[in-house]
Amino acid sequence: MKRLTVPKVMQRKNDGTTEEPLVMLTAYTARMAQLLDAHCDILLVGDSLGQVIYGLPSTLPVTLDMMVAHGAAVVRGSYHSLVVIDMPFGSYEASPQQAFASASRIMAETGAAAVKLEGGVAMAETVRFLSQRGIPVMGHVGLTPQAVNALGGYMARGRSEVEEARIVEDGKAVADAGAFAVVVEGVVEDIAITLTRELAVPTIGIGGSAQCDGQVLVAEDMLGMFERTPRFVKRYNDLARIISDTAGEFAAEVRSRSFPGDAQVYKAK
């Protein structure tokens, strides 16, 4: 199967009749990409890998090198989904030129077909600069985790009319600038519905609305590998318990000398 392309994703804009919502999950490793690929339209190498893989307190310390290493692994581990790679904090905000240098490195060194960056009106010029130079950009508005210090936390956005209007403007600005899709994260539902109605490109919700043109979750959140997750996460499984139980079983067998058993030992002929 050929990889889903950016134009094909754009064509999937929900026209309210036939189109199926886009399915997007994060992946940071080749193995996870292999497991998720067939089920997804888009695999996102999110900078959430800072917390999930590296135990960092936020996404802010994530580097371009990390994104390139994990992005290349996810491209190697998938063949069906469009792979989108997050631009890390500090790699794109200074200027369109800085963003182009970072994004072109990400694409050249990973083989991914698109990048994602956070921000609205302030990033529109950069989105336009990249889009017009062969770098497809996915936007990301609403709760933008790289702005946690400015926002004061990870609470839902758009609870005041002023903020609601600002987030709608942000989404329109990046879509008008050429973003091929826009992630709408952690907003009161009306905002996600308005953006889905008004943008010509797909909206992908996370803490958005069921009416968005697609949905995304952090795979580890979906799998139940974290203790604490935001309201917008639905845990479809409890991998944390499965992993812990399995490690406990292994440890008990080692300590009782029942592992390795005869089946795991090489015998002389």
Residue 172, amino acid: K
Q: Is 102 in the site for ligand KIV (CB under 6 A)?
A: no
Residue 58's closest CA among 166, 188, 179, 147? 147
Q: Choose which of 86, 185, 213, 220 interacts with Na ion (CB under 5 A).
A: 86
CA distances from 225 to 206, 207, 241 (A): 18, 19, 8
Q: Is 46 in the site for ligand KIV (CB under 6 A)?
A: yes
Q: Is 41 in the site for ligand KIV (CB under 6 A)?
A: no
Give residues 61-90 in contact with ligand KIV (rule: CB under 6 A).
Answer: 86
Q: Which residues of 17-46 are buried (b: 16+ CB within 10 A; e: fewer)?
A: eeeebbbbbbbbbbebbeebbeebbbbbbb
Q: Choose from ligand KIV, Na ion, none: what does 218 bind? Cβ within 5-8 Å by kind.
A: ligand KIV
Which of 19, 163, 185, 220 is an active site residue? 185
- 185: annotated active-site residue: yes
CA distances from 19 to 151, 179, 213 (A): 35, 20, 9
Q: Choose which of 4, 27, 48, 167 interacts with ligand KIV (CB under 6 A).
A: 48
Instruction: Show the site string, 189-228: x = touches ligand KIV by CB under 6 A, - = not.
Output: -----------------x---------x-x----------
Q: Which residues of 186-213 are buried (b: 16+ CB within 10 A; e: fewer)?
A: bbbbebbbbbbeebebbbbbbbbbebbb
In the complex, the smallest distance separating the C-beta of residue 44 from ligand KIV, rounded to whole angstroms, is 6
State the residues that interact with ligand KIV by CB under 6 A: 26, 44, 46-48, 86, 183, 185, 206, 216, 218
Q: Which residues are catalytic?
A: 185
> Which residues are known binding-site members for 3-methyl-2-oxobutanoate?
47-48, 86, 116
